[in-house]
Each structure stands twice: as C-alpha cells, then as structure tokens.
C-alpha cells in the first residue's frame, strides 16, 4: 500500500465534486509528546485512508493538528480509531458550521517541526501556562466590559471577512508575525482583561502562554475557537457577537456565522465576503471577488492574468519555466506593495 496520494490533483477535485457520498468536515488538535512522529504518520495514513478520510494533517513531536472530512457513515468508526490511541483519546472534535462535503479532495499527512508555525523557541517559556478557557456564553459576558481587550489571533485576511465586535485585528500575514505584534502593541495594557480567539483554538493555546510569559495578567481564550462558538450559540440561542464569515483553510475558504457582510470586493468595492484564488495558476492571488467581477475578470485578479489564462497551456507553462512570478502565492492587501514595488490595489483594479 502506498502511504501517499498518487493521483493528479485535478482528477481528485473532479472526483470529490461528482461524489454524492455524505461527508462530515471536522477539525481537532492536541499538544502531546509523540515519540516517533514519522511512525505515527504512517500508521494514521493506513487507518484513515481505509475509512475514506480526506484532509490536511500536520504531525510533530509536540502533537497533531488535523482538518479533515470523513464519510458520515464512517464517522463513528473514525471516532473509535482516534480514541483507541492514548495520545488522542477523547480529543474534542470541532464539527464544521457549513459543510457541503467538498472541503478536501485528498488525504495529506505531513510531519513538521511544529503543528503551527509560530517561530517561537518553546524552551524559552512555559507553553503549558495557558490562559483561562471561556465558553461562548462566558466570552460574550466578558466582552461587555469596556475595559476588556479582544484580540483576533488570526491573519488579516481572515479577520477581514469576519470578526468579533471591537476586536483588535493585527495587520499581519502570518501567526509568526502576529505574536510579537500583539505583545508590542498591547504592552501598555498588561493589567487589562485580554480575550483571545482564533479559528479552532490551537493558535490561542500557544499565544496565551506567550502573553502570560510577557507579563499579561488576565489572559483568556475562546474554548474551541470560532467553530465551537458558532455551535454553542446556535444550540443555546445566544446572540452572536461574531459578525460575518469564519475563514477556513480548505476548499470552502469560509463558513457563514451570521448574515453580516463586513468586507468588500477588492475589484469594485461592492459588499462581498467571498474569497477566491486567481484563475491564473501562476498568480494564485487570494482575494475577495464578487460575482459580477468574477464574470468580468473570468475569475482572475487583473487584466494581465486574464490575458495569461487565454494563452494555450503550453505557452503558459513556457512563461512560467525558470521564472519566479513577482506575485505568486500573494494575499491581497490594500495599500501594500508587491515584491516588485507596485501596489496590490492598483494592480487588482487595473481592468
């Protein structure tokens, strides 16, 4: 048995789109010492592949971080397999808020140095000295105080489409950048109550310990992140203080929490919160695009990219050969510069 995917990605995408099998999308993480991450990785691949699991999973000596989907008929079997391992027994599953069963198209399990890229030296502080975990109800109540500081521990493009009311939203691209940003910009608020939140809770585990290490006195984190918050407020009929969409790192690129649309199309400025990647695979810019602009720009971020996607595929490959595209894998940021010095805003509005 091969312990990795051997099928073309486009073919896998086509298969999952045509597959009518009901699937359940979920995520989970756990910080736990794994003696042999590579061995664990191979064992999980064998077990999960047999159950039809698809997803993106990172394993490291410090634990596991998993986002995946499983055929709904195999959900109980998957839960049993997880609980059969002492390292993962009873780990909480966070079930997706919106789920069309198309969130993932292949199974990818990778061994990494860390399960979240944070850039920290874990030996420099006590990573177990985390903040207090709050339920959705407790989080809402704590937000009522005007003295409370609410911090979004996600990247700027995640907060752009959905966030808690009045939250501090750092203008950063990565979690690695965000940690020192928060410590520096909130250094005069170390005696305030700090509420932290992220998608599923994993980033706040490390971030809350990092803030406590830097002298923040009252650090709290949303238990289970936005995903668990959305489930709890729905079950209990609690008003949502989170507005908009929860950005997710899979094929969906977002799940709606409330009907509020708090962002704009990056091309025309109309109210919109639909993320997409530029149809020019050599660009792949992540940006927000409304339906009208999607039609006008043919799913691209600019007229330049429209011109490229109209070229024969062989010509496109020829243009990419041996070159590093100046804005490959970039994320749209108004007013920020591309590596070649041009503004992303002017670039994306060029058509």
Closest CA to 80 of 94, 90, 68: 90
Q: Is the confidence at residue 283, as pLDDT, over 70?
A: yes
Q: What's the pLDDT tens digit per position in 107-134? A: 999 999 999 989 888 888 888 899 999 9
Q: Do residues 212 and 287 both lie within one domain?
A: no
pLDDT of residue 327: 43
Q: Do residues 154 and 84 both lie within one domain?
A: no
Q: Is the confidence at residue 260, as pLDDT, over 50?
A: yes
Over residues 273-291, the mean pLDDT reads: 93
Answer with the one of 182, 216, 236 that is the final residue of a domain. 236
> Does residue 102 lie in a domain region?
yes
What is this structure's pTM? 0.86
Q: Is the confidence at residue 216, as pLDDT, over 60?
A: yes
Helix or strand holding residue 276 (H, E) = strand 275-277
- Does residue 319 or residue 342 have the better pLDDT? 319
Please say if 198 is a catalytic residue: yes
Average of per-residue pLDDT values in the chain:
89
- Band of residue 19 on the pLDDT scale cut at 50, 70, 90: confident
> Does residue 258 lie in a domain region?
no
- Does residue 257 or residue 312 have the better pLDDT? 257
Domain of residue 95, CATH code: 3.30.70.100
pLDDT of residue 320: 74
Q: Which of 198, 278, 300, 301 is catalytic?
A: 198
Answer with the one of 182, 213, 236 that is the final residue of a domain. 236
Distance of CA 252 to the CA centre of its chain: 11
Q: Do residues 184 and 215 both lie within one domain?
A: yes
Q: Is the confidence at residue 2, as pLDDT, over 80?
A: no
Q: Is the confidence at residue 81, as pLDDT, over 80?
A: yes
Closest CA to 166 of 141, 146, 185, 186: 146
- Band of residue 340 on the pLDDT scale cut at 50, 70, 90: very low
Q: Is the confidence at residue 335, as pLDDT, over 80?
A: no
Q: Do residues 18 and 98 both lie within one domain?
A: yes
> Does residue 255 lie in a domain region?
no
With a CB cutoff of 8 Å and minimum separation 6, the contacts of 80 are: none
> Does residue 260 lie in a domain region?
no
Q: Do residues 126 and 227 both lie within one domain?
A: yes
- Band of residue 342 on the pLDDT scale cut at 50, 70, 90: very low
- Band of residue 345 on the pLDDT scale cut at 50, 70, 90: very low
Instruction: Quote the number of domains for the chain.
Output: 3
- Band of residue 351 on the pLDDT scale cut at 50, 70, 90: very low
Q: Which domain holds residue 334?
A: 275-348
> Does residue 227 lie in a domain region?
yes
pLDDT of residue 318: 82
Percent of all residues in the chain with a pLDDT value above 90, rounded to a whole number: 77
Please report, for residues 118, 244, 277, 309, the alpha-carbon distance to residue 293 in angstroms, rounded to integers and kept in the order given: 35, 21, 13, 16
Closest CA to 145 of 110, 183, 192, 75: 192
Q: Is the confidence at residue 282, as pLDDT, over 90?
A: no
CB 186 within 8 A of CB 149: yes
Q: Is the confidence at residue 346, as pLDDT, over 50?
A: no
Q: Do residues 213 and 285 both lie within one domain?
A: no
Q: Do residues 167 and 107 both lie within one domain?
A: no
Q: Is the confidence at residue 244, as pLDDT, over 60?
A: yes
Q: Do residues 223 and 288 both lie within one domain?
A: no
Q: Do residues 148 and 190 both lie within one domain?
A: yes
Closest CA to 255 of 67, 128, 72, 112: 67
Domain of residue 152, CATH code: 3.40.250.10
């Amino acid at each position: 048995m091969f312990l990795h995917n051997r099928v073309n990605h486009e073919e896998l995408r086509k298969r999952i789109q045509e597959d009518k099998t009901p699937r359940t999308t979920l995520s989970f993480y756990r910080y736990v010492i794994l003696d042999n991450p590579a061995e664990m990785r191979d064992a999980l691949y064998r077990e999960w592949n047999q159950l039809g699991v698809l997803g993106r999973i990172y394993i490291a000596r410090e634990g596991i971080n998993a986002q995946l989907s499983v055929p709904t008929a195999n959900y109980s079997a998957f839960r049993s397999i997880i609980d059969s391992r002492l390292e993962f027994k009873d780990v909480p599953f966070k079930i997706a808020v919106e789920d069309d069963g198309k969130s993932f198209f292949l199974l990818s399990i990778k061994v990494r140095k860390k399960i979240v890229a944070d850039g920290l030296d874990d030996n420099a502080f006590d990573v177990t000295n985390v903040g207090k975990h709050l339920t959705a109800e407790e989080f809402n109540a704590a937000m009522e105080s005007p003295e409370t500081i609410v911090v979004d521990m996600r990247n700027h493009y995640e907060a752009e489409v959905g966030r808690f009311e009045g939250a501090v939203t750092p203008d950063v691209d990565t979690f690695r950048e965000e940690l020192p940003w928060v410590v520096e910009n909130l250094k005069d608020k170390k005696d305030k109550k700090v509420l932290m939140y992220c998608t599923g809770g994993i980033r706040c585990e490390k971030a809350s310990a990092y803030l406590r290490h830097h002298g923040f006195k009252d650090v709290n984190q949303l238990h289970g992140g936005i995903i668990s918050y959305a489930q709890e407020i729905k079950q209990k009929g609690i008003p949502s203080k989170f507005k908009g969409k929860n950005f997710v790192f899979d094929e969906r690129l977002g799940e709606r929490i409330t009907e509020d649309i708090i962002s704009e199309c990056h091309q025309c400025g109309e109210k919109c919160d639909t993320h997409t990647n530029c149809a020019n695979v050599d660009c792949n810019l992540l940006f927000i695009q409304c339906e009208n602009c999607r039609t006008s720009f043919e799913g691209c971020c600019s007229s330049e990219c429209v011109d490229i996607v109209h070229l024969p595929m062989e010509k496109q490959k020829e243009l990419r050969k041996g070159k590093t595209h100046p804005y490959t894998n970039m994320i749209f940021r108004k007013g920020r510069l591309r590596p070649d010095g041009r503004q992303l805003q002017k670039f994306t509005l060029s058509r």
